[in-house]
Amino acid sequence: MRGEPPMRIRANARGSFDVDLPEEERELLALLPGRMLSALEVLANPDSIVPDELRRLFPPAYPTDVSAEDAYVRLARQDLLDHHREALMVLRDSAEVTHLDSQGINAWLTALTDLRLMLGSILGITEDGIELEPSDPSYYNWICYHYLSQLQHEIVTVLSEQLPPLKSEASERLPDDPWGEPLGGLRWDGTPRPELT
């Protein structure tokens, strides 16, 4: 019986991350960001309309208030653009590396998330499964989407393993709350806070 495939991204003893990807995957990771960087160029003008494939990256903050939305776009869009561009360029420019530091691995995670959101919009991703034939025009995008999903999952897994353990005083009855006393008598997970005896 076949086990789980080995992780391609692993934490090492030096506090960084080893990246073990085949050449064809590295070529894909160097290529895909360029496609999205080109799509982002249209948004350099704050008056431009967000293309459909980028709507999940730039959702409206005030969908029912045109003037408030316009003010928000002029205030925040450039920072959002810079954030997305920076992560995509890091992924593109470091696709060949065999080691990433914490900043690099987080940039990869951001870029992979952005690329998945764009491809998901293009493909009209839903919860319904779909079977495609290689002759389907969207087959390549589906392959890229699933590959990026798997690589994103590996990075999330390896980063989750770096989190500190839960505090010993935390319990199911009253979980440790790093933000202080919960509002309205609710615990951090939204359930009623039990009365202390």
- pLDDT digit string (tens) for 107-143? 999 999 999 999 999 988 776 666 777 778 888 999 9
Cα dihedral value 128, 123, 33, 46, nearest 10: -120
Q: How much of the chain exceeds pLDDT 90, in percent?
A: 58
Contact 57, 114 (CB under 8 A): yes
Residue 190's region, left for phi above 0, alpha for psi from -120 to 50, else beta, is: left
The per-residue pLDDT for 190 is 55
The per-residue pLDDT for 158 is 94
The rounded distance, in Å, linking the Cα atoms of 31 and 123 is 19
Does an H or E element contain 150, and which? helix 139-160
The rounded distance, in Å, linking the Cα atoms of 8 and 157 is 11
pTM score, two decimals?
0.78
175 has pLDDT over 60: no
pLDDT band of 1, cuts 50, 70, 90: very low
* DSSP notation for 59-97: --S-TT-HHHHHHHHHHHHHHHHHHHHHHHHHHHHTTT-
The rounded distance, in Å, linking the Cα atoms of 156 and 17 is 12
Residue 122 CB burial class (10 angstroms; 0-12, 13-18, ≥19): middle
For residue 57, the SS3 value is coil
Instruction: List, for residues 4-47, the tens digit of each pLDDT value.
Output: 667 889 999 898 999 999 999 999 999 999 999 999 998 988 88
The rounded distance, in Å, linking the Cα atoms of 148 and 29 is 9
Contact 154, 9 (CB under 8 A): yes
Instruction: Provide the residue ranges of all domains of the chain, joining segments of one domain with +.
Output: 9-163, 171-197
